[in-house]
Amino acid sequence: MNLEIDSSGSVDSTPGFSAAGIACGIKASGLPDLAALVADVPCAAAGVFTTNRLQAAPVRFCKDVLAGEAANVRAVVVNSGNANACTGEQGERDVRCTSELAREVFALGRAKALVISTGIIGEQLPMEKLESGLKELGGLLGDGDGGSGKKFARAIMTTDTVEKNLALTFELGGVTVTIGAAAKGSGMIHPNMATMLAFFTTDAALSPLALALALRRVTGRSFNMISVDGDQSPNDSVFLLANGKSGAPKIENESSPGFERFCEALERAAILMAKKIAADGEGATKLVEIEVSGAASGRDAARVARSVANSPLVKTAVFGKDPNWGRIVSAVGYSGVDVDPDSVNIYFGDLPAFLAGEPAATSAAELAAPLEGDEVLIRIELGMGDEHCRFWTCDMTYDYIRINADYHT
Amino acid sequence: MNLEIDSSGSVDSTPGFSAAGIACGIKASGLPDLAALVADVPCAAAGVFTTNRLQAAPVRFCKDVLAGEAANVRAVVVNSGNANACTGEQGERDVRCTSELAREVFALGRAKALVISTGIIGEQLPMEKLESGLKELGGLLGDGDGGSGKKFARAIMTTDTVEKNLALTFELGGVTVTIGAAAKGSGMIHPNMATMLAFFTTDAALSPLALALALRRVTGRSFNMISVDGDQSPNDSVFLLANGKSGAPKIENESSPGFERFCEALERAAILMAKKIAADGEGATKLVEIEVSGAASGRDAARVARSVANSPLVKTAVFGKDPNWGRIVSAVGYSGVDVDPDSVNIYFGDLPAFLAGEPAATSAAELAAPLEGDEVLIRIELGMGDEHCRFWTCDMTYDYIRINADYHT
């Protein structure tokens, strides 16, 4: 599939969407902390949310909106610096109030504004700052500033070290369609800076049902396939808004022409964004790709990959450039998946480390070479079937400890 | 129950057992790496082993021996520095050969010698060094050296910083009974230094069945309730040998008089040993006790405790003396257990941090005080039922990264 990728694009690269990001004083640091994405017309919208039993107030709010008004969304307001999680009834009131304010300030008419938050757990939102911030955003939207998509991406950051955004275009039903994206996340799930958010816009035309199906499928192969520390936040959310402006034929459901093609493009965008999050994992020096093949099921493949990706011993070994395949075999062994170690092969890049129950002939010095770069590929062949998956994580370093031990101080 | 604890006791504090530990050259460092425990008479023996699908050759060997000869064990040989895991058929041959050598050197007659290993994965055992080491051990056993139990505990260490041993005595059926113990483990499951081992001896009289039942029950409340990094090794093993020399009435099964009492004493010994392992976790500065109550089932309680104990974010917060209860609530939320965050309470020691879905009134400065000491108690009330558990872990520090990133270099 031919795709044109614009690495400086963002959620407002899609025709019909504008974005802005500012500092409104939620963060003591004075860094940007409030962003808005607004569509010219009501959009179809879909969301995928954390499975944590603890769900932040804005997550519960967005689920409610999408349950009833998934064809009638025009805006997403995002604040960083405060997660609005563990905030009781006050938190519920604040998210509803923010949404109403946004409808007013952005003149959304009868359409809805979604609201999502990321940041510290257990503190109430500073609503006065948020209100004046929303008014400021209203004046900035659609001012034609070429950098506003990047400002959106920057205002949603917490411990992220770089903003994460891109856009891509592809052909669908004879016309050019855009997908714009922005995301944040550094501890994969870092409950304190609670945590991973991603936003996608498109001018393809999809029903809310088709949009939800596409987003769920793609999330399972991208954002659900990354991990920084195995923690999972009460705020994790992925949003997709479609305004249909491209003129491409409308995709009503899974069997509509164009559905598979749209999913393929969305998956490309989502995997690129997911890798940006894994690579910017707290304290990370390396992006680690784990490729599992020969699994009896896709679920088995993912369990094995997740077990290896979450092993502190594997992650510290990668940081130490130590081709410690024993730790990988062991993490495969305790993944809970039915495997026979005597049929497992492990490779660093293309170099075999462990073949069918015994150490391979590759020397430790040779095995260490693929660990020198910024990206490390670990391949695991299970020998149990034909299913496979790819999973991304990062190494675990002194800086991970520093960031997470010193955060409050 | 009245128990007399001897903190300098070890596996040879039990009448009828002798122990020794030496350096035989398996470790390049020259530190002690070979130990033996030998009984005067054939013992009943029980073992609990790793559930990792990857099982080291000695684990498979011991399971075989205990399946057929659980009433006929007289020795346990332990080496550190080499796990004999991922070593293929050569590894299988070496463990059988070591056991036969031990029977010869220690003159065990028709009784069996168990063999277990801990250390680097994927290297073959240096059998010549092991053979001459065994002969040296043979000359040291029973020499009446008061320090030989401690030498046993020292020779089984890998990244441990202190040897772990104790003995306790209690009254059973009118006579004094002893339980002696030694253990090692530093990465809870640290597959590279694969990993946790514990050895118990007793002069109580138990059938192999009763012994196995007691060990399984007690392990579930002690060694299965600790975690350093959530990894699980292919070598984890707990052994219990009983020679019956105390003269206490024989315990045939779970309903025999004395079974509950013996389990209670064994549990005390096992929890003390398990806490020693958690406190000596790699790089640890603090022992963390997690007390979960109000669970719908014991399994739920353990899942919640394990989820909190394995969260890198909770562990780094404890290292940073940061009373970050949001990370704890979040780890409860993603534990997979059905909980309602609005009914959860979290305490540091006796100080409430989070009550029924909202932050407690305790100030951050007050909450930080219980984090100053060497031992930190986190209490979690789930409000779902009456079941409870205790779990032990340690903080995660810069030294954890150093130890595990630099291990090979």
Say whether pLDDT at A192 is over 60. Answer: no
The residue-averaged pLDDT of B33-52 equals 94
| pLDDT in the model for residue B190 | 40
Higher pLDDT, residue A262 or A311? A262
Q: What's the per-residue H, E or C state across chain B?
A: CCCEEECCCCHHHCCCEEEEEECCCCCCCCCCCEEEEEEEEEEEEEEEECCCCCCCHHHHHHHHHHHHHCCCEEEEEEEEEECCCCCHHHHHHHHHHHHHHHHHHCCCCCCEEEEEEEEECCCCCCHHHHHHHHHHHHHHCCCCCCCHHHHHHHHCCCCCCCCEEEEEEEEECCEEEEEEEEEECCCCCCHHHECCEEEEEECCCECHHHHHHHHHHHHHHCHHHECCCCCCCCCCEEEEEECCCCCCCCECCCCCCCHHHHHHHHHHHHHHHHHHHHHCCCCCCCEEEEEEEEECCHHHHHHHHHHHHCCHHHHHHHHCCCCCHHHHHHHHHCCCCCCCHHHCEEEECCEEEEECCEECCCCHHHHHHHHCCCEEEEEEECCCCCEEEEEEEECCCHHHHHHHHCCCC
Cβ within 8 Å, pair A231-B330: yes
The residue-averaged pLDDT of B304-333 equals 91
Cβ within 8 Å, pair A327-B122: no
Which residues of chain A are within 8 Å of residue B329 when distances are taken between CB atoms?
54, 86, 121, 191, 234
* pLDDT confidence band for B227 (50 / 70 / 90): confident
Q: What is the rounded average pLDDT for all residues in chain A? A: 91
Nearest-Cα distance to chain B for A352, in Å, is 14
Q: Give the span between the Cα atoms of A294 and B192, in whole angstroms.
A: 25
* pLDDT confidence band for A121 (50 / 70 / 90): confident
* pLDDT confidence band for B1 (50 / 70 / 90): confident
Share of chain B above pLDDT 90, in %: 74
Locate A91 and state its tokens.
């938190």
Cβ within 8 Å, pair A231-B192: no
Instruction: Point out the least confidently predicted range of A40-49, A242-251, B306-315, B346-355.
Output: B306-315
Of B86, B320, B331, the CB nearest to A326: B86
Nearest-Cα distance to chain B for A261, in Å, is 34
Which tens digit of pLDDT belongs to each residue from B245-288?
999 999 999 999 999 999 999 999 999 999 998 888 888 899 99
The residue-averaged pLDDT of B89-115 equals 97
Instruction: Point out the least confidently predicted range of A307-321, B88-102, B170-184.
Output: A307-321
Cβ within 8 Å, pair B401-A406: no
Mutation choice for A interface testing from B51, B52, B53, B90 by most A CBs within 10 A: B53
**Cβ–Cβ < 8 Å for B195, B235:** yes
Say whether pLDDT at B239 is over 80. Answer: yes
Q: Give the span between the Cα atoms of A194 and A407, in whole angstroms.
A: 13
Nearest-Cα distance to chain A for B131, in Å, is 24
The residue-averaged pLDDT of A350-358 equals 93
Domain ranges of chain B: 3-278, 287-405
Of B327, B339, B406, the CB nearest to A191: B327
Which residues of chain A are within 8 Å of residue B231 when distances are taken between CB atoms?
311-313, 327, 330-331, 334
Say whether pLDDT at A190 is over 80. Answer: no
The residue-averaged pLDDT of A301-329 equals 91
| pLDDT in the model for residue A188 | 44
* pLDDT confidence band for B409 (50 / 70 / 90): very low
* pLDDT confidence band for B110 (50 / 70 / 90): very high
Instruction: Point out the least confidently predicted range of A302-311, B70-79, B366-375, B398-407.
Output: B398-407
| pLDDT in the model for residue B381 | 98
Chain A nearest-CA residue for B232: A334
* pLDDT confidence band for A409 (50 / 70 / 90): very low
Say whether pLDDT at B408 is over 80. Answer: no
| pLDDT in the model for residue B189 | 44
| pLDDT in the model for residue B313 | 86
Mutation choice for B interface testing from A330, A332, A337, A393 by most B CBs within 10 A: A330
Say whether pLDDT at A191 is over 60. Answer: no
Which tens digit of pLDDT belongs to each residue from A83-115?
999 898 999 999 999 999 999 999 999 999 999
Of B52, B339, B405, the CB nearest to A330: B52
Q: Which residues of B are catalytic?
A: 195
The residue-averaged pLDDT of B322-350 equals 92
Cβ within 8 Å, pair A334-B51: yes
Say whether pLDDT at A406 is over 90. Answer: no
Chain A nearest-CA residue for B309: A231
Q: Which residues of A are catalytic?
A: 195
| pLDDT in the model for residue B145 | 61
Cβ within 8 Å, pair A354-B230: no
Domain A287-405 grouped into CATH 3.10.20.340: yes
| pLDDT in the model for residue B188 | 44
* pLDDT confidence band for A142 (50 / 70 / 90): confident
Chain A nearest-CA residue for B342: A88
Which residues of chain B are within 8 Å of residue A396 when distances are taken between CB atoms?
312, 401
Cβ within 8 Å, pair A340-B404: no
Mutation choice for B interface testing from A82, A228, A404 by most B CBs within 10 A: A404
Which tens digit of pLDDT belongs to each residue from A384-393?
999 999 999 9
* pLDDT confidence band for B231 (50 / 70 / 90): low
| pLDDT in the model for residue B305 | 94
Say whether pLDDT at A189 is over 60. Answer: no
* pLDDT confidence band for B193 (50 / 70 / 90): very low
| pLDDT in the model for residue B405 | 80
Which tens digit of pLDDT belongs to each residue from A268-301?
999 999 999 888 888 889 999 999 999 999 999 9
Which architecture does CATH list for A3-278?
Answer: 4-Layer Sandwich (3.60)
